[in-house]
Structure 1
Amino acid sequence: MQFSQIDMEMSAVDEKQYPTKHLPEIVLSGRSNVGKSSLINTLLSRKSIARTSSTPGKTQTLNFYNIASKLYFVDVPGYGYAKVSKKQREQFGKIIETYLQTRSEMKGVMLLVDARHTPTEDDFNMYNYLKYYEIDTLVVATKVDKIKRNQRDKQARLIMDKLQLEPEDNLIFFSSETGEGHDDVWQWIQTQSGVPLIDAQD
């Protein structure tokens, strides 16, 4: 998918700083170092619109990416990074919770988990939080290129069992290296946002 204009438009820590353009917003959430920046760059066919880092815990604000004035991606602080202080974790939690519970433009959340491992307790808690508040959620299992083909069914079951996914819940394997899952993720985004993205370059 190619877009004529993409901007990391703003960073926000409270409601007064949110965008005022009333575009639909899709959230990216997940554990630190799970590959959110790489997923954003792959989906948008850009090398570094979202900065990847070898140091987890770098995202400390809500980062709003304006995609061709059609919708926003909202990258939220990652969780589960041990070197982030308890106070910082509480601040991040409050920032995210306020956004998720008050933002009418928010149309769904992509929850990223590492396809190579069993989801963590933090992943489980986040997924259950989203389900409790009836927020439409897509689970994206990243780094699937690191898994042998004959191990995928096993990993899918591990993820589904740990998160307690229902049969109707959404799970997509994704790789920023091979592009696997790219089209399926975009289809979900298009459905949730109500934005036709086929004419992305118009």
Structure 2
Amino acid sequence: MKQASRFFTAQSPNLLFSEAQFRKLPQSHHPEVTFLGRSNVGKSSMLNTLFGRSNVAFTSTKPGKTRLMNAYGVSPHPMSAAPQSGTKGEIMAESWRRLRGGCLVIDMPGYGAHSRADWGTEIMKYIEHRRQLRRAFVLVDSEHGLKTTDLTILTHLFRKGIPHTIILSKIDKLVHPHSSFPSSEKLQTGVVEVKKRTEAIQAQLKKDVWGGRDAASDILCVSSERSLDEFGVNREKIGINELRWAILCACGLQESRKDVQSINIIEA
């Protein structure tokens, strides 16, 4: 996972554009992934952890603070200085050229409570018509499971054949909810709880999304707050490097799989 970590943390991401309407999004030659989720599911905190920074995406305890489609350019290579003058279009074109060997991470407004109906319309336009989109990552609160709005968007992605991955966020609340440094016994209990939760989600997807058919769904378990061992070899937040690797694979930017030992984020 070293390449994945280096790719996302070597350079600070650049906010390349923020737009409310799909038709105003600039075109680019770079692959894109998008992050979707209910309001206050922890999407902004997840993105900050993904980037290895604390203040790239705005976080708030109040839901609905992300109101625009925000595009972050990510690359392990340094970018040259932005041009000092020129029209907005020329500056934007220069920004695309400066993003060498990178990808765009699109942070979408939250759906559900405290969101606006027109946000949902623009989100649907993006995931259906954006040619650069490689995969959608849908955040689901691990404590509360799938809500009606989650099922609605997952059904849409499934029926349209849009590649997508479910991210169970705040997974630390299941793995070790009451202890910063759980014992092996408590950690194993948490692992069992995570497996039960993912199996329940798979069963619900089969019933409510896949029409009773068997299908495969990628589920990543991630925490933006805690690791398995704050002072040991697993100091990265739970599942964050697996998420980084999944993005690289979706965008075709992975170099090799030699340093990937296991995609199971729970087993140390």
Query: Fold-level match, TM-score > 0.5?
Result: yes
Q: Look up the match of 2:198.
A: 156
Task: Percent identity, please.
Answer: 28
Confirm or deny that 1:96 pairs with 2:123: yes
Task: Report 1:1-202 matches (<5 A).
Answer: 1=5, 2-68=9-75, 69=99, 70-81=102-113, 83-84=114-115, 88-89=116-117, 91-148=118-175, 149=190, 150-164=192-206, 166=214, 168-177=216-225, 178=227, 179-196=237-254
How many residue pairs align between the two structures? Answer: 193
Distance 1:17 1:45, change over 3 A: same
Q: Deviations over 1:53-98 (max 9, x none)?
A: 11101112111111122111101111111x44xxx22x01111111
The CA deviation at 1:22 is 1.8
Structure that is richer in strand per residue: 1
Q: Normalising by structure 1, what TM-score?
A: 0.89
- Please list every run of 5 or more consecutive structure 1 residues that lacks an aligned counterpart in the other structure: none
> SS where residue 147 of structure 1 aligns?
helix
Task: Give distance in 1, aligned partners of 2:241 and 2:172.
Answer: 16
Task: Give distance in 2, aligned partners of 1:180 and 1:47.
Answer: 16
Q: Deviations over 1:111-143 (max 9, x none)?
A: 100111221011111111101111100100000
Q: Normalising by structure 2, what TM-score?
A: 0.68
Q: Is the radius of gyration larger for structure 1 or structure 2? A: 2
Task: Give distance in 2, aligned partners of 1:62 and 1:15.
Answer: 8
Please give the root-mean-square deviation of Cα atoms over the aligned residues, in Å: 1.8
Distance 1:23 1:119, change over 3 A: same
Give runs of ≥4 in structure 1 deviating > 6 Å: none
Deviates more, 1:40-49 or 1:148-157: 148-157
- Please list every run of 5 or more consecutive structure 2 residues that lacks an aligned counterpart in the other structure: 76-98, 176-189, 228-236, 257-268
